[in-house]
Amino acid sequence: MIIKRDYYLQKLIRRRENGMVKVIIGLRRSGKSYLLFNLYHDYLISTGVKEEQIIGIALDDIHFTQYRDVSKLNSYIRAKLEGSSQMHYVFIDEVQYAIKRSEMDNTITTELYDMLNGLMRLKNADIYVTGSNSKMLSNDVLTSFRGRGDTVEIWPLSFKEFYDYIGGDKEDAYEHYALFGGLPGVLRYSEPEDKVGYLQNLFTEIYFKDIIERYKITLPDVLEQITDELCSSIGSLTNANRLANALSSARGTKVNSNTVSSYLGYLCDSFLFNCAKRYDVKGKKYFSYPSKYYCVDLGLRNARLNFRQQEESHIMENIIFNNLISRGFAVDVGVVTVHAKQDDQKIRQSNLEIDFIINKGMKKYYIQSALRMDTPDKRQQEERPFLELNDFFRKIIITKTRMKPWVNEKGVITIGLLDFLLDESALDAL
């Protein structure tokens, strides 16, 4: 099974021998190892690199567990490099296993980064590491690499990557993707029950165990309940206090909001969820809370809920969010404050929501996700927040209703969902 991940492969190719540690981060089983040990490996071989010039160590493999000790890992790599003037490519998979629990909150002094900094000084080593914890993307980590850490985020398959692999009817492919998600491992199975078993097993045997072990979780049932709450309310506003109150009510015992806040952080750090903050468009400031949480993979979400709660509009919104994140956009939830005269002739304040405000470089877009646009009232509802804005950034409605892209007299662009997912230039069309 060969799945092309050209977008990520080209990122690595552009970073080849740039004098920095390439840090590839993302959810476990999202394809980091495949990208590095298969696709990039094969690329290097095709350019004339010999097999013995590639040093691969998978720290989540039982055969390499001894090298979770940084000193032994360092000795192993240096022994391979010693006496050679040829460039060697060092691949270390799931490198977080070499970070001690006591060092997680103080990465500046982490032995692993000191070791990697030492390897960077060697003229015959080009270093690549993968990790499944977003702590590796923090400013502390970049500081630890003394400005020589270069991060590449990898996500589960986008719908375009998924469709390029399976082909066939686009709408059928979308329904499959919305149900089973984009983890590459799902594509190994042809029967739905096998796909379900694979996804459910990932949660119980890998993701939860990783988090519980890494962070010494004392209330694993609370971790699972928080996960279930987030999965069942994707795209809904929430915060630690709200979740703590809901869990306390369901359990009949108090759940501390600080515990919930910590567990939320662990779930996001492990790439199971992404958090989108609310941004006041007119006031140009962020709200501290509440925020929206989106599942990094819908297949995992659906499997966790035993494929209940298939709210099509929320799933579509989550897929759009994931697609924007995978394209490298910063994504916020927009809030537009308006003042309008009510029936009693009093002027009252209300907030209108824009599903996504996205930024990348100098580009900025406002986006609404609308399952259907089949009535004038629905169109007016989606357009209204846009019409309250006094700027010239693109204002786009993405709808599952099949239609050709078009722009109305108010400057609002409407594009079909599949056009958006399959064509990266769709946001700039018209």
Spans of all domains in the chain: 6-153, 157-430
Could you list the pLDDT tens digit for every one of the 430 residues in the chain? 789 999 999 999 999 999 999 999 999 999 999 999 999 999 999 999 999 999 999 999 999 999 999 999 999 999 999 999 999 999 999 988 888 766 655 544 578 888 999 999 999 999 999 988 776 655 555 566 766 789 999 999 999 999 999 999 999 999 999 999 999 999 999 999 999 999 999 999 999 999 999 889 999 999 999 999 999 999 999 999 999 999 999 999 999 999 999 999 999 999 999 999 999 999 999 998 899 999 999 999 999 999 998 899 999 999 999 999 999 999 999 999 998 777 777 888 899 999 999 999 999 999 999 999 889 999 999 999 999 998 999 999 999 998 899 999 999 999 999 999 999 999 998 7
- What is the DSSP secondary structure assignment for residue 157, as one 8-state letter? P
Least Cα distance to 116 among 157, 70, 172, 64 occurs for 70
CATH number for the domain whose boundaries are 6-153: 3.40.50.300
Alpha helices in 111-154 (DSSP H): 111-120, 139-144
In this predicted structure, what is the pLDDT of residue 420? Answer: 98
In this predicted structure, what is the pLDDT of residue 374? Answer: 85
d(CA 54, CA 45): 9
d(CA 370, CA 314): 10
Category of 362 on φ-ψ map: left (φ > 0), alpha (ψ -120 to 50) or beta: alpha
Would you tell me how many other CB atoms lie within 10 Å of the CB of residue 160? 16
- What is the DSSP secondary structure assignment for residue 399, as one 8-state letter? E
d(CA 115, CA 207): 27
Spell out where 51-124 has E strands.
54-58, 88-93
pTM of this structure: 0.93
